[in-house]
Amino acid sequence: MKNVVIVPSRLASTRLPEKPLALLHGKELIRWIFDNLKNSKRYDLYFAVDCEKLIKFCEKYSIPAIYTDPLLPSGTDRVYAGYCKLNKNYDFIINAQGDEPCMKAEYIESFIEFVSKYNKKIFKSSIFTIAKESDDIDSFNNSSHVKAVCTIDNSALYFSRSQIPYPRDKEQKIKFLKHFGIYGYSPDALKKFVNLKPSFLEQMEKLEQLRWLENKGKIIVQKVNFDLISIDTKEDVEYFESKVVKNE
């Protein structure tokens, strides 16, 4: 299976200005992601960027970058645009979010291995993603942390920023799936996704994956045991620096 990882990286962030260039322990976010993902023989790696400033930055650090239209409405659209510009054939396209500095090559490789076990029909028609079982009450109460609910065979039923599944009995221990925004698609599934109109649930929750579910698509979830720290605000940067030691 020939795989490509495309990281959508957008300079025009609202909550954290110029987020890809935000410094974490003195090193830019985009470089953390590149350094963590670059050393794998299981996939090719590219960054889909939205401006000349990021193109020049990537050239400086030998980061493979593709220029994509700054007016594209989402990271998924940017990944698809980047894939089309590559003009290469891949079996599996992975959208690795541009705000996850803790993502590692071994996590992506495990994801590829998980997906490769599905038959051709399911593989071509489904979207794949990852989530972690958690009992962290702060994460459960945080609307920035997306929760997933799945069937017994790991097919997603719903994703929400709300507290799901909600424990009606207050003494019941919290247990939920914390979703991470890593997605994998066949080229056919990705093309179909970007051609669907934004859906009601997607617009309500501001979660793109709900567009696929609302259109009767299947999302399969790999349950993992690692955690990630998304960088969206200055507070996230401070939290990251308090938890993660700088790597060289």
Q: What is the pLDDT of residues 45-73, one digit of tens each?
A: 999 999 999 999 999 999 999 999 999 98
Question: What is the C-alpha separation between 225 and 133, in angstroms, rounded?
Answer: 7
Eight-class DSSP state of 25 = T
Average of per-residue pLDDT across 166-193: 93
pLDDT of residue 4: 98
Sketch the domain layout of the chain as residue ranges: 3-243
**Other C-beta atoms within 10 Å of 213: how many?**
20
Question: What is the C-alpha separation between 20 and 233, in angstroms, rounded?
Answer: 12
Query: Does the pLDDT of residue 248 top 70, yes or no?
Result: no
**Strands (DSSP E) found in the chain:** 3-9, 23-24, 27-28, 44-49, 65-67, 92-96, 126-134, 147-150, 156-160, 176-185, 218-224
CATH architecture for segment(s) 3-243: Alpha-Beta Complex (3.90)
Please give the distance of CA 27 from its chain centroid, rounded to a whole number. Answer: 21
| Non-local CB neighbours of 215 within 8 Å, separated by 6+ positions | 196, 199
Residue 144 confidence class, pLDDT cut points 50, 70, 90: confident
